[in-house]
Chains A and B, each alone.
Chain A
Amino acid sequence: MFVLVVGGGKVGYYLSKELIENGHEVVLMEKDRARADQIADEIGSIVVAHDGCEGKYLGEAGCARADIVAAVTGDDEDNLVICQMAKHHFDVRRTIARVNNPKNEDLFRHLGVDEIISPTRMILGSIEQDIPVHELLHLAALGEGELEIIEAHLQDGSPAVGRPAGDLTMPAGCALFAVIRDGTASPLRSDMTLRVGDKVIAIGPSECEAMLHQQLIGGDPEAATEG
């Protein structure tokens, strides 16, 4: 497959390298002469030291026969134009754009870019995915890591709320030992009724996390992680 990569930053460089290693034909366009020479020294004479946004140079780089054009410069507007030129002027079948501002994804898609890769969105998604897990927070690992101290933040819908701590079924080797209520920590007694907002501190082997989740947070721990 012939892939035209535009933008010789870190992404463009490693992308070209990987594609070559996988046996594809690659041309990389990088407008900065010094950077282009540097890449050519490292991975061979596949570099065109011209601006890939300019129609003339896109044509000279063989855009018209490219199977895929990947626009991976650091500027959204450049990536948009590269893909639109490839698509509409050179009839390239598949265009891929790197998008930095997640708000531009929609616009790019609407304007005909086939695939949109947003590193910002990916990292953001990864961070947001973690938030529900914070209902159960790993505070520390003890010993060789076989024991963990876990904090459970009781919220509305927790099956433990309104029940005395002694009523909860704990897995073997796992104990609830303290509660933080209104900022004050106290030992958890079995007759203490749990409330919304309590932070219950548990200690136990890491395998007991699913059970803790079921008892203190409620619902299916797998579903919560994916949300």
Chain B
Amino acid sequence: MKIVIVGCGRVGSVLAEAYDAGGHEVVILDVSTRAFDRLSAEFQGSAVRGDGTDEDTLRRSGAEGADAFLALTEGDNRNVMAAQVATEKLGIERVLAKINDPVRAAAYAELGIATVCRTTMLADSVSGFLGLPSSGVPSMIAPSGGHGAHAHPPLSSPAAGPTSAGASAAGEG
């Protein structure tokens, strides 16, 4: 499976390495080459310096025809825009945007973009640790309607290699 990741931060780099080790074709983009220092020497995928919200940059980096597109930069808006470029311009079907503002995450889920919200995820983990009720807001929303992502079949397993925890989590969304 070809997986494009925008943003080589902590989450992006961890997933890039995991999917690469799992035998997937990984393309990771970041506006700063320094961000790629997070990737280990074993990483076999391609690391491209460029703006993941720019259609031309995405095409040049080989994002066309990707099976999955993950927008995981530190900027909610950059993620939203990258996800919409991927959906609308590149026609990628399985697209996920990290949106840390819960209001924005819910709004975009209504618009048909699958979102994952670190804020609610962390808040619920903390509440769980304390044995207190969670927020009740889902931290990951994969919309079933709208113009963007639809309910997906599970990701196909690679021919060989272990399934990483990250891959199975994404599959549940």
Measured between alpha carbons, how far is A56 from B76 in the docked complex, in Å? 14
Nearest A-chain residue to B56, judged by Cβ: A103
B84 in the interface, Cβ–Cβ < 8 Å? Answer: yes
A142 in the interface, Cβ–Cβ < 8 Å? Answer: no
Measured between alpha carbons, how far is A76 from B55 in the docked complex, in Å? 13
* Closest beta carbon of chain B to A84's beta carbon, Å: 7
Q: A111, B110: Cβ atoms under 8 Å?
A: no
* Closest beta carbon of chain B to A23's beta carbon, Å: 32
* Closest beta carbon of chain A to B79's beta carbon, Å: 9
Neighbouring B residues of A76 by C-beta, 8 Å: 53, 81
Instruction: Say whether, besides A107-B84, A107-B89, A78 and B77 are in contact (CB < 8 Å).
Output: yes
Neighbouring B residues of A54 by C-beta, 8 Å: 101, 103-104
Nearest B-chain residue to A73, judged by Cβ: B77
| Range of interface residues on B (Cβ < 8 Å) | 20 to 34
Nearest A-chain residue to B89, judged by Cβ: A107
* Closest beta carbon of chain A to B99's beta carbon, Å: 9
Neighbouring A residues of B108 by C-beta, 8 Å: 84
Residue from A53, A75, A101, A111 in contact with B104 in the complex, judged by beta carbons closer than 8 Å? A53
Measured between alpha carbons, how far is A81 from B108 in the docked complex, in Å? 9
Q: A residues touching B (Cβ–Cβ < 8 Å)?
A: 53-56, 59, 75-78, 80-81, 84-85, 88-89, 101, 103, 107, 110-111
Q: B residues touching A (Cβ–Cβ < 8 Å)?
A: 53-56, 75-78, 80-81, 84-85, 88-89, 101-104, 107-108, 110-111
